[in-house]
């Protein structure tokens, strides 16, 4: 059985979140708890919370408490969120305004109680 958890409109770049997801994809939730804190990325807390939420969703679906070593991350990816909402301006030379956009991403994690079958 599978369960999904999503974290939308997070203030992190989707490429940087994707680097962390590549480390844990296909591993157990317990193994990901050992890998993520030592990655050194700011988005590690958000990714760990989303993985834990997906594992809790699976336990609710099955109706019993599972061991975290038997829950595997089947699918984990991040997509780019809307870029039009967070336009910012930084001061430039000679009084000019230099516009830039803040990154936003959507994170989706799917966990399963069957090992393998991940993409």
Give me the residue spans of the domains in the chain: 2-112
The reported pTM is 0.86
Which stretches of the chain are DSSP H helices? 14-24, 29-35, 44-62
* Contact yes or no for 107/17 (Cβ under 8 A): yes
pLDDT of residue 104: 93
Q: Decide if 5 contacts 57 (C-beta within 8 A).
A: yes
CATH homologous superfamily, domain 2-112: Ribosomal protein L22/L17 (3.90.470.10)
* Distance between CA atoms of residues 5 and 55, nearest Å: 9
What is residue 117's predicted lDDT score, i.e. its pLDDT? 55
Instruction: Indicate whether 41 pLDDT > 60.
Output: yes
Dist. CA 89–CA 21, nearest whole Å: 31
pLDDT in tens, 42-74: 999 999 999 999 999 999 999 888 899 999 999
Over pLDDT 70: what percentage of the chain? Answer: 97
Q: Which percentage of the chain shows pLDDT scores above 90?
A: 78
């Amino acid at each position: 059985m599978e369960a999904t958890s999503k974290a939308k409109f997070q203030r992190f770049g989707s490429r940087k979140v994707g680097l962390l997801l590549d480390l844990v994809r296909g591993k157990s939730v317990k193994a990901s708890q050992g890998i993520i804190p030592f990655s050194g990325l700011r988005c590690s807390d958000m990714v760990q919370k989303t993985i834990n939420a997906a594992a809790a969703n699976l336990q609710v679906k099955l109706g019993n408490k599972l061991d975290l070593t038997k829950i595997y991350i089947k699918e984990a990816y991040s997509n780019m969120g809307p870029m039009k909402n967070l336009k910012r301006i930084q001061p430039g030379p000679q009084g000019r305004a230099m516009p830039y956009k803040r990154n936003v991403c959507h994170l989706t994690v799917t966990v399963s109680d069957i090992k393998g079958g991940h993409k």
